[in-house]
Amino acid sequence: MSNLRVDGARLWSTLMETAAFGRTAKGGLCRLALSPEDAAVRRWFVEACEAIGCAVTIDQLGNIFARRTGSDPDLPPIAIGSHLDTQPTGGRFDGILGVLAGLEVLRTLEDADVVTRHPLEVVNWTNEEGARFAPAMLCAGVFAGAFDLDYALSREDRNGVSFAAALAESGFDGTAPVGGRPLAAHFELHIEQGPVLEAEGLEIGVVSGVQGIRWFDVEIAGLACHAGTMPMKLRRDALQAAARLAVAIDEIGRSDPDTSLSTIGIFEAYPGSRNTVPETIRMSVDLRHPRAEGLDRLEAAFHAAAEEIAAALSVTIEIKPVWSSPPVVFHPEVVGAIDAATAQLGYSRRSIVSGAGHDSVYISRVAPTGMIFVPCEDGISHNETENIMPIEAERGANVLLQAVLQFDSAA
């Protein structure tokens, strides 16, 4: 089986076919979790898996498990998981590559009449992006016990639609319990979403772990007043406080060069009138660092800056923690299988830490887990111009196939 390879043309064809679900004018994807577009690609995925004889199970959060039986019915499955949902202006490969490469692995094994010892399950995890329902990786998190079921079902999008309502509308409100399914391992193929592999001319990233992430919602409250009558020295301008805080957050992200990161992704001003001093600002803050102590340092600096600015401009600044994902180190046996498979295939490689969060972060709490990266053009992701080459998808899927086979035979 060491000579077995995926059908790269078939994999690329499925990537292009599924890119029709939620296609944007710029050639990207808008396929928010549990939207009609997400429901459509989910139906496509279920039909494709059933066409090769997989048994499909859907749990109470819409996580989809497509199982190919193994020769030993007593063994837990090896999972290959990622996500089909996207950002509002997302690309064609973030997450989707991992799910469709899993499907291609099963198709390749079916074509070659190869039966693994373990059952294999391709998993589509619901709401990985967190773009519609915060936090990110929500349903993998429930599976792993980080959140409870009711918490996930109660999440609301910015229009006040609950996760439970959207799930029912999508038709993917399954009945299987969330979690409690033993997994022998969890493999995830993903685009790097950064520039390192491309810059170094390397073909595969063997992911050793994922950096920590903390999300916050910030509300700054000042006083709305007339822009032409209130003297500058008497104003309590929420927008000016937000501007100073934004600069401070940027400086915090640059405090540990090439390691720390900070981002403001949402920024809203109220009442939103041209000749009224803004009274309320709502903004999001994303802090990242590969070490827990580094995250603590960034958060402490963030709070200190907010307190100083609030006092200087006579506003109040409320910081609400939304989500925290600690740094993760992946399982050495799974990482070893990925590294050995890459070497066997003759692809150039390096060890790499993921800067982005993935479903594998939570699944690593309940199963041996590892990830494979392939380069993406200019390191661009969460963008409609996100791009990879067909050969890069094929290489990643071949590493996935061989790593799963090696783990299956050795476990």
pLDDT of residue 140: 98
Q: What is the pLDDT of residue 1?
A: 84
Q: Are residues 201 and 224 in the same domain?
A: no
In whole angstroms, what is the distance from residue 92 CA to residue 194 CA? 15
* Domain encompassing residue 228: 212-325
Q: For the chain, how many structural domains are there in total?
A: 2
CA geometry: angle at 317 spanning 313 and 319, to 5°? 155
183 and 55, same domain (yes or no)? yes
**Residue 49 amino acid letter:** C
* DSSP 8-class letter at 209: E
Whole-number pLDDT of residue 294: 96
Which residue in 261, 395, 244 sits closest to 315, CA to CA? 244
Is 3 domain-assigned?
no
d(C-alpha 80, C-alpha 188), whole Å = 6
pLDDT value at residue 16: 98
Q: pLDDT tens-digit profile of 42-70?
A: 999 999 999 999 999 999 999 999 999 99
pLDDT recorded at residue 10: 98
Sign of CA dihedral 174, 176, 178, 181: negative
Residue 21 sits in the same domain as residue 158: yes
Residue 353 and residue 206 share a domain: yes
Decide if 31 contacts 132 (C-beta within 8 A): no
**What does the alpha-carbon distance between residue 273 and residue 268 come to, in Å, rounded to a whole number?**
12
The verdict on 218 and 338 lying in the same domain is no
Q: Kindly state whether residue 169 falls inside one of the protein's structural domains.
A: yes
| CA atoms within a 13 Å half-sphere pointing along the CA-CB vector of 116 | 29
Question: Which residues touch 158 (CB under 8 Å, ≥6 apart)?
Answer: none
341/230 same-domain check: no
DSSP letter (8 states) at residue 346? T
Residue ending a domain, choose from 264, 291, 325 = 325
Picking from 44, 69, 64, the residue whose alpha carbon sits closest to that of residue 54 is 69
What is the predicted pLDDT for the residue at 256? 93
Domain CATH for 372:
3.40.630.10
Domain co-membership, 195 together with 243: no
**pLDDT score recorded for residue 92:** 98
Mark which of 325, 357, 382 sits at the end of a domain. Answer: 325
Q: Which of 118, 113, 233 is nearest to 183 (CA)?
A: 118
| 229 lies in the same domain as 305 | yes
Distances (CA, A) of 341 to 70, 97, 128, 349: 21, 19, 27, 11
Residue pair 19/28 in contact by the 8 Å Cβ criterion = no
**Dihedral pair phi/psi, residue 145, rounded to 5°:** 90, 10
80 and 162 in a common domain: yes
In single-letter form, the type of residue at position 210 comes to V
Q: What is the pLDDT of residue 258?
A: 82
Q: Are strands 276-277 and 204-210 parallel, antiparallel or unpaired?
A: unpaired
CATH number of 298's domain = 3.30.70.360
For the chain, residues with pLDDT lower than 50 are none
Contact 315, 306 (CB under 8 A): no
How many C-beta atoms surround the C-beta of residue 188 within 10 A?
Answer: 32
Question: For residue 73, what pLDDT is reported?
Answer: 87
Record the tokens describing residue 143, joined without a space: 């599976």
